[in-house]
Chains A and B, each alone.
Chain A
Amino acid sequence: MAGGAKPVRPGALPLAAGGAAAVAALLTIGTLLAVLARAGGAAWPDAADWAALRFTLWQAVLSAGLSVLLAVPVARALARRRFPGRGLFITLLGAPFILPVIVAVMGILAIFGRAGLFNTALGAIGVAPVSIYGLTGVVLAHVFFNLPLAVRLILQGWLAIPAERFRLAAALGFTARDIARHLERPMLREVVPGIAVTIFLICLTSFAVALTLGGGPKATTIELAIYQAFRFDFDLGRAAMLAGMQLVLCAVTAALAARLSLPPAFGAGLDTSQRRWDGTGRWVRLADGAAIGAAAVFLLLPLGAVAAEGLPRLLSLPAPVWQAAGLSLAVSLAATALAMALALPIALGAARFRRGRAFEILGMLPLATSALVVGTGLFLILRPVTSPGALALPVTALVNAVMALPFCLRALIPAARRVEADYARLADSLGMTGLARLRYLTLPRMRRPLGFAAGLTAALSMGDLGVITLFADPERATLPLQMYRLMSAYRLADAAGAALLLMGLSFGLFWIFDRGGRADAAV
């Protein structure tokens, strides 16, 4: 028993992390292989596919770059300002990201569309209307979706800088520039590459947004080409080839990001909440106010439009919509539990083991998988065993959990690394392992990102329409499916009511989990 500092490596973690990663691999690579096996081989991309690839990459690079670039000032402003309603605002910031695509697009059009608020206002002062359709619209929508995610994740990075550093900086008379150089840039260097790549990958598989706002076939993405290959051509080989292309792109960019991001060398702080002494100058305060104000207008107006439109019908929604809402809630909670069970071991594994990067990259793959390929692959895998309709809801929950995994990992891995870097040696020397370590050391330190990740998963799952359409059991429609049914039946006013209900429930779930994670802090 001498040498109590000997690292004790519990055996359960590699097993759990490996198992969770295997589930992610089965749903991403496994389903693709199933489609490929059924097709009997892949096709070679043609000229149109390369054109689609170019457009896909270009819009994703623009969307990711712009989202991150705009997020930094907003996150910085939120990190150093205290104002009434700040907590609520930060929570509300999560809303655009968790909206179902169609709802968000309609919200954006209500503000920026041809008949939207913005153009109406321009018309009133005699300025010609501005059309957003085309690359502008695609990037605008992607920034609308992803800016909030970027702000939240970067803000987490800011809040993770130990409070003592800022105290020390103030004591040393650091200027804003000094703080940026010594504290903020190293933090950004750590978190930004991963966030940018995450958003890049989200935009890579964009389909409905790119098509609806893209203005025409110039805005063809790979995902649309997969859609076409599946549905009208029934060319599984081509679909598998295109999906493979997305996965390779994803793996390469994720690996690249892992190389780019450098862990900061702050050392541990006392784990208390930050107080800031910098940023008191008038211009800095004005700039911060402008950043927060602009983000609020850009992100909250479309949400307001969705709410205003749905409100009149919310209470008179037909009974099947309420049933669907209940069902969606159940699926979403199941997906959240599953996602946490998968994400936590992977995040801890990625932080603790030297080869942890592999887990991380595997956990990112769901971002680049096509919902259609996952659905079809699972369908092919499960069909010999059972009737797909019977598994509609469990499959939806599992797929939603795996699809949310990348976002969970983005939030959890940096936190896990920090716990590992700051406390691992101490915990090892105390012989604190296994569940005790998880309970007393890890979970309390990761409470905030865990709440955020659970909230994201629950909300994303609530609004998901991806895989349910292949497995749908007509008796058990989820809320997004029911909303589409209302739209197909011309009942657009009811559909707007259902959209508001969906937005409210998604947001409510997100709020509860996220709030739960932040219950110990004043932020």
Chain B
Amino acid sequence: MIPKERPMTRYAPTATLTAALTLAAAPMAVAEEKPVLTVYTYDSFVSDWGPGPKIEAAFEETCGCDLRFVTAGDGAALLARLLLEGDHTEADVVLGLDTNLTARAAQSGLFAESGLGGVTYDLPVAWDDPIFVPYDWGYFAFVYDKTKVAEVPADFEALAASDLKVVIEDPRSSTPGLGLLLWVKEAYGDKAAAIWEGLSDNIVTVTPGWSEAYDMFLRGEADMVLSYTTSPAYHLIAEGDDSKAAAAFREGHYLQVEVAGKVAASDQVALADQFLAFIGTEAFQSVIPETNWMYPAVTPEGGLPAGFDTLVTPDKALLFPAEKAEAVRDAAISEWRAALSR
């Protein structure tokens, strides 16, 4: 009997283990029947205070799928990650690039056309990009405290002439920083360097990203901060504080349009298409204003939340076409660096 018993003792634990695994796998098997749609996005989108959780729940109600977010730091980090992975990426959809990054993204050949036509967007500019689908947008603007700044500059020249202190983001590490750079370039062309030289004594410092800059502004390190015209809405709606405002500039305001795109190598093409179409719907768009604090690409049926009507609305929207933004970037950065290094 002994030779028979030995295999018993040897295999019994394995059998138990197999049984346990089968039991454990049973509920998983149900979940795995659902296809998984992988969406790459920037980190703040999926945070508990961002739009991600609500959008995930809303989409999963209709898609019969499991929506999985994978995050990278911000829009630029997102594109860098995708380029790093190339065709082997797990992403089906990338959400969170802006128009200053889309030319590079399109050139990579990693994105497929959205195939979405006939959606009417509530954007200040016409939208006919065949690949990228806009989901929200905002105007860059200098935000200030109404109780502290008496004379609000009406353009860059007035700001440069004033003794107001501003904090801005670095165009080499942050998408708002790059937005400001292109704003000045689009508004002033060859005179951009002179504007930057004029601004150099107003700039307290240049931060790596938006969070640091905004934090420094709220601490009183600067009178104004480069942010969005929608920033005061947060203070008004979430904090009941109406002291913040954005300065309207005569030159017009540069736009940031945030977009999503379908990855060409996706193995969930139908779901990816479904998600891109979902972006323009009420369920997605109604979440945006009070989580991402941006304008939704399609205004929800009930309109914008109360408070958004108090925001400054620029007369003129500035935006380089994507290819132009990519083409002028390097020269504009050199110009900026030279002007501010004097």
Residues of A within 8 A of B (CB): 38, 48, 102, 105-106, 109-110, 113-115, 131, 133, 137, 207-208, 211-218, 220, 224, 227-228, 230-232, 234, 318, 320, 376, 379-380, 383, 387, 389, 469-470, 472-474, 477, 481-482, 484-492, 495
Contact = CB atoms under 8 A, between A and B. Distances in A.
B308 interface: no
B173 A109 contact: no
B204 A114 contact: yes
Contact of A232 (B72, B172, B222): B172
Contacts of B214: 487, 490, 492
Interface in B191-223: 200, 203-208, 210-212, 214-216, 218-222
B142 interface: no
A109 B50 contact: no
A320 B52 CA distance: 15
Given A109-B216, A484-B43, A488-B211, A133 B204 contact: yes
16 contacts: A48-B334, A105-B212, A113-B216, A131-B204, A212-B205, A214-B206, A217-B170, A224-B173, A228-B172, A469-B73, A473-B70, A485-B43, A487-B212, A488-B50, A489-B49, A495-B215
B128 to A, nearest CB: 25
A215 B80 CA distance: 27
Contacts of A487: 211-212, 214-215
B141 to A, nearest CB: 15
Given A102-B212, A212-B212, A488 B47 contact: yes
A232 B219 contact: no
Given A109-B216, A114-B220, A318-B48, A488 B210 contact: yes
B30 to A, nearest CB: 20
A48 B172 contact: no
B146 interface: no
A222 B283 CA distance: 45
B165 interface: yes
B54 interface: no
Given A218-B340, A228-B172, A383-B85, A490 B76 contact: no
Contacts of A231: 76-77, 79-80, 173
Contact of A216 (B104, B206, B210): B206
Nearest to A215: B205
Contacts of B215: 106, 487, 492, 495
Chain A interface SS verdict (over half):
helix
A290 B291 CA distance: 51
B80 A115 contact: no
A214 B172 contact: no
Contacts of B50: 485, 488-489
Contact of B337 (A48, A105, A109, A110): A48
B285 interface: no
Contact of B79 (A109, A212, A234, A485): A234
Interface in B299-342: 329, 334, 336-337, 340-341
Given A208-B212, A489-B47, 16 more contacts: A115-B221, A211-B205, A215-B205, A220-B337, A232-B172, A234-B80, A234-B104, A484-B44, A485-B49, A487-B211, A487-B212, A487-B214, A487-B215, A488-B47, A489-B291, A490-B214
A217 B341 contact: yes
Contact of B69 (A115, A131, A474): A474
Contacts, number: 152
Contacts of B204: 114, 131, 133, 215
A215 B221 CA distance: 12
B178 interface: yes
A211 B80 contact: no
A489 B235 CA distance: 11
B256 interface: no
Given A216-B200, A469-B77, A487-B211, A110 B219 contact: yes
B90 interface: yes
Contacts of B231: 490
Nearest to A225: B172
Contacts of B85: 383
Contacts of B173: 211, 224, 227-228, 231
Given A227-B172, A320-B48, A486-B49, A216 B293 contact: no
A232 B48 contact: no
Contact of A217 (B49, B52, B81, B337): B337
A114 B165 contact: yes
B287 interface: no
B206 A217 contact: yes
Contacts of A220: 337
A224 B170 contact: yes
Contacts of B104: 234
A485 B206 contact: no
Nearest to B53: A474
B207 A211 contact: yes
B234 interface: yes
Contact of A472 (B43, B49, B83, B210): B43
B340 A109 contact: no
Contacts of A387: 90
B71 interface: yes
Given A48-B337, A489-B50, A492-B215, A113 B83 contact: no
B46 interface: yes
A214 B203 CA distance: 11
Nearest to B210: A488
A215 B207 CA distance: 8
A79 B311 CA distance: 61
A206 to B, nearest CB: 11
Interface string B51-75: 0100000000000000001111100
Contacts of A469: 43, 72-73, 77
B84 A380 contact: yes
A234 B170 CA distance: 17
Contacts of B29: none
B2 interface: no
A342 B76 CA distance: 35
A389 B68 CA distance: 12
B238 interface: yes
Contacts of A105: 212
Contacts of A230: 80
Interface in B209-264: 210-212, 214-216, 218-222, 231, 234-235, 238
A445 to B, nearest CB: 43
Most buried by B among A232, A484, A487, A495: A232
Task: Give 3 nearest A-B pairs by CB, closest first.
Answer: A115-B220, A488-B44, A489-B49
Nearest to A380: B84
A106 B220 CA distance: 12
Given A133-B205, A212-B207, A224-B170, A218 B216 contact: no
Contacts of B71: 472, 474
Given A224-B170, A234-B80, A492-B218, A208 B208 contact: yes
